[in-house]
Amino acid sequence: MVLTSLVVMALLGLAGCGSDGGADGDAAGGSGGGDVIRVALLPKIKGIPYFSSCADGAREAVAELGNVELIYDGPIDGDPRKQAEMIEQWIVDGVDVICVSPNAPDVVANAMKDAQAQGIHVLTWDADSAPETRSFFVNQATPQSIARGMVDAMVADVGGSEVEGDVVIISSDATSDNQNSWIEIMRPALEKTRLTLQTIKYPGENASSALADAKDVIKKYPDLKGLFGISSVAFPGAAEAVEQTGNTGKIMVVGLATPNSMKPFVERGTVRSVVLWNTVDLGYLTVHAAHALAEGRLKPGAQSFEAGRLGNITIEGDNILLGDILVFTPENIDEYDF
């Protein structure tokens, strides 16, 4: 989720952004004609590279479409209660579409339903919630491809299918729907290997906690062969723990993060595989979906829709599918810039 040129186009084509008067928020708008569609884009946590690159893609779509005003804001600590408060404020503001990456679906569900009750379109992106709380989910990749991609990468990185040893998963919050869906698939996939999953840690969206948890399991499990960092905060935290404990090349680290954030670890040999998707394209597709929904071009039962430079996008049920995962390695990571 050819690709190099698309990423470069995204980064060169960003629309300008300025204050929308909200706390820590920003708004971007195109210059085209027609009624302005106000789209609020809510990440799990604002200010980390993963979601910042998604916002870059969203602004690129705004620049193309011309009649969209983008409001990008989110909690800087990943607090889902703050997500719910922002949704309620956007209801008062009368936005047209709210796009939510829910950190705890149950916490934001009522606010999302309130928005729908007021005639506001609601999408999820990056992470999903209950179907009754939104119209569509902009799905970056299937849970199967993400989970199996990480397991396959770990098996390869530790030395192949004959290698035995322990692995640990460093997740985010215990309530994170997407991480939990990946773990459900990773467990049985790991059982088919010689690697034993010893425990799962939940440091939240907190880098220092992820680092501390990774150090703890490195000390606790002497036969540890690998750490999975399955959030863009957990992955660099786990890699940093391996380096600080002098285990580079001994304990492999595989996970999900932007290539730019992991390049230093790849260059030092701590990480060999970074699993992700094109995050710029995810933000770009989300705004195109919001625009099509607001204009009535995207309706329940649709099987596809046109999304700018991404072309015809497939819809399966209520999932708008971006595509497959990308695996960044020492051989190809320098080709990507996001």
Question: pLDDT tens across 229-254, in order?
Answer: 999 999 999 999 999 999 999 999 99
Helix (H, G, I), strand (E, B) or coil at 40: strand
Q: Look at the block and give the residue holding tokens 């799962």.
A: 200
Q: Report the distance separating Cα 300 and Cα 305, nearest Å.
A: 12
Q: Report the distance separating Cα 187 and Cα 168, nearest Å.
A: 11
pLDDT of residue 21: 34
Q: Edge-to-edge, what's the strand order for the sheet holding 37-42? A: 26-29, 68-72, 37-42, 97-100, 121-125, 136-139, 319-321, 312-316, 304-306
The CB density around residue 283, as the number of other CB atoms within 10 Å, is: 30
pLDDT of residue 25: 56
**pLDDT of 124-169, one tens digit each?**
999 999 999 999 999 999 999 999 999 999 999 999 999 999 999 9
26 confidence band (pLDDT: 50, 70, 90): low
> In sequence order, what are the beta bridge partners of 200?
169
Section 322-334 average pLDDT: 96
The secondary structure of the chain in percent helix, strand, coil, rounded to multiples of 5, reads 45, 20, 35
Token pair for 310: 């991404």
Q: Report the distance separating Cα 338 and Cα 335, nearest Å.
A: 10
Q: Report the distance separating Cα 280 and Cα 90, nearest Å.
A: 24
Helices (H), the chain: 3-12, 49-65, 80-93, 105-117, 143-158, 177-191, 207-220, 234-244, 259-267, 279-294
Q: Which domains does the chain have, with CATH numbers?
A: 3-140+278-323 (3.40.50.2300), 143-275 (3.40.50.2300)
> In sequence order, what are the beta bridge partners of 227?
168, 253
27 confidence band (pLDDT: 50, 70, 90): low
- Residue 212 phi/psi, 5-degree rounding, is -65, -45
Helix axes 80-93, 105-117, angle to 10 degrees: 10
77 confidence band (pLDDT: 50, 70, 90): very high
**pLDDT of 272-294, one tens digit each?**
999 999 999 999 999 999 999 99
Q: Is the predicted pLDDT of residue 10 greater than 70, yes or no?
A: no
Q: Report the distance separating Cα 136 and Cα 128, nearest Å.
A: 9
Q: Are strands 136-139 and 121-125 parallel, antiparallel or unpaired?
A: parallel
Quote the percentage of the chain above a pLDDT of 70.
90
Q: Is the CB of residue 71 less than 8 Å from the CB of residue 38?
A: yes
pLDDT of residue 24: 40
Measuring CA to CA, which residue among 175, 191, 333 is closest to residue 263? 333
18 confidence band (pLDDT: 50, 70, 90): very low
Section 324-338 average pLDDT: 96
Q: Look at the block and give the residue holding tokens 């790991």.
A: 190
Q: Report the distance separating Cα 105 and Cα 109, nearest Å.
A: 6
**pLDDT of 193-242, one tens digit each?**
999 999 999 999 999 999 999 999 999 999 999 999 999 999 999 999 99
> In sequence order, what are the beta bridge partners of 124?
100, 137
